[in-house]
Amino acid sequence: MDALARSLADTGLPHPLLVDAARAAIAEGDPEDVEARARRHAHTAARAMLQPVVNATGVLLHTNLGRAPLAVAADAAFTNLELDLSSGRRGSRHAHAAALLARLCDADDAIVVNNGASAVLLVLAALATGRGAAVSRGELVEIGGGFRVPEVMEQSGAKLVEVGTTNRTRRADFASAVENPANDTALALKVHQSNYRIVGFTEHVTVAEMSSLNVPVVADIGSGLLDAACPWLGDGPPAWLAGEPAARQTLADGAALVTFSGDKLFGGPQAGIIAGRADLVNQCARHPLARALRPGSLVLNALQQVALAYLRRDGQAIEFWRMASLATADLESRAQVVVAESGAGKVAEMASVPGGGTLPGTEIDSCGVVLDGDHTAALRAGTPPIIARVSDGRTWLDLRTVAPDDDQTVIAALKALG
């Protein structure tokens, strides 16, 4: 077994994993081609590990591919994570990235946790445990992975106070719920319908309308747009972004707190951000769950780098916004090169989507290469794997989500298809 494992050293896997592959091959019993079987097991083990892939799906925030792509340099070094460099005393991990996020949102203060669901959970636990939280019935959403607002509220200890109806909720409905002593309402929660739409005979209550209630308004805007004006983009906000709630404007409309994800429209790592009134943020920070949900220095460093890019108004330094703002004509030129050099497929107009449970139904004009037949398995088998999509019996490779440096990888893969 040891000799068989050592014969696989060229795969680059650590020896213990090669021993596992050798053991699995020997256990299959057939002495013939045992090395070939062991190599297949080693290959399977390698493919199961996290690795870079080329996203040619046209989904900018592809949840299965890690949502927002992010390049962050981090040296092997200690950091002042919880050290105040001025006094030399213990500091707060919320004094770095969180302070920059508060500045970007024009908020009094902010705190960072490990994802968007954690942000909602912590706010409810800190502000409404044992008390009522009023939510419109039309906003009791479920998002990917089985995250349901009512279940998160139950885990937080808050009591769900349902307001209005599925399709129509008015301010008077919220006022009635808040003023009812039996509900003991601690806050009103507004949840952005980020991954679906209710159309037709509908009515909803805005944050501005809710802000005059006698309880704090917490707005879970989900997708993480910082500012509706998009000052980090030279041409201002793109048309496809219309109607998406933004943290800065939501707070200006009277929300006491906003919560949102770090790896969606913000374009950073997986994280949850809570921003708003300093007293409420401080209540969240002092709650025992805050320690269980806090991120480490790698995440906070990544958030800090992205936040600094926003403050510089350098949208091109944030990969999501670089991809989202690419001109279709430039994508067409790249597609023509891919087709010409690979000798495969043809240039085609396409429609990218934001993805990640954001802006449902929104499409962004794009361009790429289309091939007859389903070639997705062969493309995934390459190094690096290329992830494409199939529609109408054809394989579509949308170049909006392919980094320009990966065009040659795509060309080589298309050539290899024969």
pLDDT digits over 278-322, tens only?
Answer: 999 999 999 999 999 999 999 999 999 999 999 999 999 999 999
Q: Give yes or no for residue 197 having a pLDDT over 90.
A: no
Predicted local confidence at residue 294, as pLDDT: 95
Q: What is the mean pLDDT of residues 172-182?
A: 93
Report pTM.
0.92
Per domain, the residue ranges of the chain are: 2-46, 54-68+326-416, 93-315
Q: What is the mean pLDDT of residues 37-48?
A: 90
Predicted local confidence at residue 335, as pLDDT: 98
Q: Which residue has the higher pLDDT, 75 or 189?
A: 189
Measured distance CA(168)–CA(173) in Å, rounded: 10
Q: Which tokens in the block code for residue 157?
A: 């200890």
* Whether 403 contacts 358, CB under 8 Å: no
* Whether 339 contacts 407, CB under 8 Å: no
- Going 362 to 366 to 371 to 375, the CA torsion angle's sign is negative
Predicted local confidence at residue 195, as pLDDT: 57
Q: Give yes or no for residue 268 having a pLDDT over 70.
A: yes
Burial 285-321 (b: 16+ CB within 10 A, else e): bebebbeebbbebebbbbbbbbbebbeeeebebbbbb
Judge whether 54-68+326-416 and 93-315 match in fold.
no
pLDDT digits over 205-218, tens only?
Answer: 899 999 999 999 99
Q: Which residue has the higher pLDDT, 25 or 199?
A: 25
Q: What is the mean pLDDT of residues 132-149?
A: 77
Query: For domain 93-315, which CATH number applies: 3.40.640.10, 3.30.200.20, 3.40.50.2300, 1.20.1250.20?
Result: 3.40.640.10
Q: Give yes or no for residue 122 having a pLDDT over 90.
A: yes
Predicted local confidence at residue 143, as pLDDT: 63
The proportion of the chain whose per-residue pLDDT surpasses 90, expressed as a percent, equals 74
Measured distance CA(62)–CA(102) in Å, rounded: 27
For residue 162, give the DSSP letter. Answer: E
Measured distance CA(176)–CA(136) in Å, rounded: 12
For residue 268, give the DSSP letter. Answer: S
Query: For domain 54-68+326-416, which CATH number applies: 3.30.9.10, 3.40.920.10, 1.10.260.40, 3.90.1150.180?
Result: 3.90.1150.180
Predicted local confidence at residue 203, as pLDDT: 81
Predicted local confidence at residue 261, as pLDDT: 94
CA distances in angstroms from 377 to 167, 350, 387, 395, listed in the order given: 42, 21, 9, 11
pLDDT digits over 43-84, tens only?
Answer: 999 999 999 999 999 999 999 999 999 877 778 889 999 999
pLDDT digits over 221-259, tens only?
Answer: 988 899 999 999 999 999 999 989 999 999 999 999 999
Q: Which helix (H) or strand (E) holds 60?
A: strand 59-61
* Whether 377 contacts 47, CB under 8 Å: no
